[in-house]
């Protein structure tokens, strides 16, 4: 019920926002016009960079004299989406006059990924052997994108065949992830119940592990923000310019701020007999790119439809990679 209310709220907010990358066919008027573009991107989440790498930080391996042989004997592998595609809904609305476009966009997607947590120590520790799966971690992520940009059209770079567009803008991504373990190995479950009652996640407010509690479910908040440079080339496939091939690429440069809420995913060993938290959050430099290749058909001077594909890559604390088919419809209001 909460998710339904959230989606309704997001849809309402989307109607109030300006949106980005309106089609070039709507430009050229001496009066202001508006172009509204509902959009659907079927995203395949190859890498979920909005959450830290999976692990089981409650377990370490020590020898008979208390020296730490491996502070992180479990690691996440084979991260993949639970479903092949997730619908990423978007609304774009642009204000245009002459060759200028003032625009922005709003997008929302909810997706789930899973990772195998495997025993990564070099030697067997009965009943576990290297490569054995100890559990699976499921990460349920909800993501919101907001973009604003201004761009300028260069028509007829190649007469009647090619237009170019160049702009500058800002981007904000907010993602919130909920994490929990499932399909836990019986030995790990029993051992965890003895040494970590309350859950297999360690939540520690300090780095020397003196103030910790255990949880079976934790959350992460993530913010990506920075500048964009939207660039596009619009190829006229037919002489009447009703069939177009828009190709766009939008580099992103900025920062990522992640708040893991004191969850411990990795440990460090400053000395052979001591441990401290190796944090995987905070603020770091981030960069990325979004690329679209679509075919657009002009049904009339005010309505067009398009379809094609999109790829998005972002690198901050972790890598995010998604791709899949994209489709939408643009409707123009006002202008001449």
Cβ atoms of 43 and 81 within 8 Å: the answer is: no
pTM summary value? 0.88
| pLDDT tier, 119 (very low <50, low <70, confident <90, very high otherwise) | very high
Per-residue pLDDT tens over the stretch 258-285: 999 999 999 999 998 899 999 999 999 9
| pLDDT tier, 81 (very low <50, low <70, confident <90, very high otherwise) | very high
Rounded Cα gap, residues 182 and 198, in angstroms: 15
Total number of domains in the chain:
1
Average pLDDT, whole number, for the chain? 90
Which DSSP category does 260 fall into?
-
Per-residue pLDDT tens over the stretch 34-77: 999 999 999 999 999 999 888 888 889 998 888 999 999 999 98
The continuous run of DSSP H or E covering 197 comes out as none
Peptide bond into 182 cis (omega under 30): no
Cβ atoms of 97 and 30 within 8 Å: the answer is: yes
For residue 190, which phi and psi values (nearest 5 degrees)?
Answer: -65, -45
The count of residues in the chain is 336
Q: What is the mean pLDDT of residues 125-140?
A: 93
Rounded Cα gap, residues 115 and 135, in angstroms: 9
Radius of gyration of the chain from Cα atoms? 24
The continuous run of DSSP H or E covering 290 comes out as strand 282-298
Where on the phi/psi map is residue 34: left (φ > 0), alpha (ψ -120 to 50), or beta? Answer: beta
Q: Is the pLDDT of residue 18 over 60?
A: no
Helices within 153-268 (DSSP H only): 186-195
Which DSSP category does 51 fall into?
S
pLDDT at position 39 is 97
Rounded Cα gap, residues 96 and 286, in angstroms: 31
Per-residue pLDDT tens over the stretch 148-203: 999 999 999 999 999 999 999 999 999 999 999 999 999 899 988 888 888 999 99
- What is the CATH classification number for the domain harbouring 44? 2.40.128.90
Helices within the chain (DSSP H only): 2-16, 186-195
- Among residues 303, 322, 326, the alpha carbon closest in space to that of 312 is found at 322
Residue range(s) defining the domain that contains residue 292: 2-334
- Among residues 102, 126, 270, the alpha carbon closest in space to that of 191 is found at 126
């Amino acid at each position: 019920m909460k998710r339904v209310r959230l989606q309704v709220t997001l849809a309402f907010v989307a109607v109030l926002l300006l949106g980005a990358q309106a089609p070039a066919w709507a430009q050229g008027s001496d009066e202001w016009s508006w172009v509204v573009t509902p959009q659907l991107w079927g995203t395949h989440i190859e890498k979920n960079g909005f959450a830290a790498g999976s692990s089981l930080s409650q377990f370490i391996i020590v020898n008979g004299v208390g020296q730490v042989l491996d502070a992180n004997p479990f690691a996440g592998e084979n991260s993949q989406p639970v479903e092949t595609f997730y619908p990423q809904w978007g609304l774009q609305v642009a204000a245009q006059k002459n060759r200028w476009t003032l625009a922005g966009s709003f997008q929302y997607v909810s997706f789930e990924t899973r990772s195998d947590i495997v025993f990564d120590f070099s030697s067997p520790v009965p009943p576990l052997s290297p490569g054995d799966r100890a559990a699976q971690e499921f990460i349920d992520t909800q993501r919101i994108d907001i973009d604003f940009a201004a761009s300028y059209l260069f028509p007829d770079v190649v007469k009647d065949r090619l237009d170019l567009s160049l702009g500058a803008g800002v981007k904000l991504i907010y993602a919130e992830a909920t994490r929990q373990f499932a399909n836990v190995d019986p030995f790990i479950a029993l051992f965890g119940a003895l040494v970590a009652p309350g859950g297999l996640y360690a939540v520690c407010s300090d780095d020397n592990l003196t103030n910790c509690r255990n949880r079976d479910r934790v959350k992460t908040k993530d913010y990506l923000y920075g500048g964009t440079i939207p660039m596009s080339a619009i190829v006229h496939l037919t002489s009447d310019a009703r069939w177009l091939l828009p190709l766009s690429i939008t580099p992103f440069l900025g920062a990522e701020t992640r708040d893991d809420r004191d969850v411990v995913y990795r440990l460090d060993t400053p000395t052979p007999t001591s441990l401290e938290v190796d944090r995987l959050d905070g603020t770091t430099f981030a960069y990325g790119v979004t690329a679209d290749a679509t075919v657009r058909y002009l049904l009339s001077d005010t309505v067009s439809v398009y379809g094609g594909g999109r790829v998005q890559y972002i690198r901050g604390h972790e890598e995010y990679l998604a791709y899949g088919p994209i489709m939408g419809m643009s409707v123009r209001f006002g202008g001449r």
